[in-house]
Structure 1
Amino acid sequence: MQIRHFRVVTPIWDHLHGRSPSAPSGDVDVIWHDPLCADAVEDRKREAALRAAEPEIAWSVKNQARMHGRNNDQPYSSATDAMRYWPETATAVAVRRVGKDNCEVAAPLGLGDLMNLVLRPTSRFASEKRYIYEERVRSKGWLNSWPLLREETN
């Protein structure tokens, strides 16, 4: 069985702003990790299946077993390990369904920034890749959409 994690940041920010969850905008990210099946074609197949089930959502499926190459990192050992290398601490959170009524949270950088509405770069994106972090914050409009978010740089 392949393990899938869904990133869940925006519904939490909506809740912390006293709003109902907004409809997904942009991609809904699905990550998984299988080094024996790291061809991007498999991701496209999984996206197609998700689109068939929920066509109004822009699915983005990525096997984290190959993403280290794109990011010039050492190979990731798992989907959770891959999240350690993401640009923002608050967005490095994912959830997967376990059984019928339970879920499991993966948060390798912790939940503090997410729950405290802090937007900050991870260590690599605070220095050599700062421009990527800044462009993501700008292009995604997070600070406008969730005005209680505060940006911290340390």
Structure 2
Amino acid sequence: MVNWQVKNQVLMHIKRQHSQYLSSADAMSFWPEQETAVAVKLDKYGNFSIVAPFGLTSLFKGYITFNLKADEHTFWQRVKKKCWLTTWPKLVIKK
């Protein structure tokens, strides 16, 4: 089983010292790694759609890519703290 979290992005722009985000997709475009910026959206008709500002290709290829909009130190802290390279030994870090 994989441990995952849901975070409300409404105030994250303040914590990260960014301008107010325009949307959830805009907020995700600032995440430290591109492949974690994936969400599922439910519309008023009950239909699901995927929101992925960086696409899904690199995720399915097994990459984890530093986002140039983010802080590189934070990226490396997350790689270490979340034990991604131990949990998924075939994961490839892209910069």
TM range (shorter): 0.7 to 0.9
What's the TM-score once normalised by structure 1's chain length? Answer: 0.56
Q: CA RMSD in A?
A: 1.5
Give the match for residue 135 of structure 1: 77
Q: In structure 2, what residue type is equivalent to 1:143?
A: L
d(CA) in 1 for partners of 2:10, 2:5 = 19
What's the TM-score once normalised by structure 2's chain length? Answer: 0.87
Q: Which runs of 5+ in 2 are unaligned?
A: none
Q: In structure 2, what residue type is equivalent to 1:104?
A: S
1:117 aligns with 2:62: yes
Q: How does 1:25-36 map to 2 (within 5 A)?
A: 25=3, 27-29=4-6
Q: How does 1:2-151 map to 2 (within 5 A)?
A: 22=1, 24-25=2-3, 27-29=4-6, 61-62=7-8, 64-98=9-43, 99=46, 102-125=47-70, 129-151=71-93
Give the match for residue 35 of structure 1: none
Give the match for residue 94 of structure 2: 152
Cα deviation for residue 132 of structure 1 reads: 0.6
Aligned residues: 93
Between Structure 1 and Structure 2, the one with more helix by share is 1
| Moved segments of 4+, more than 3 Å | none
d(CA) in 1 for partners of 2:69, 2:27 = 13
Percent identity reads 33
Cα deviation for residue 110 of structure 1 reads: 1.3
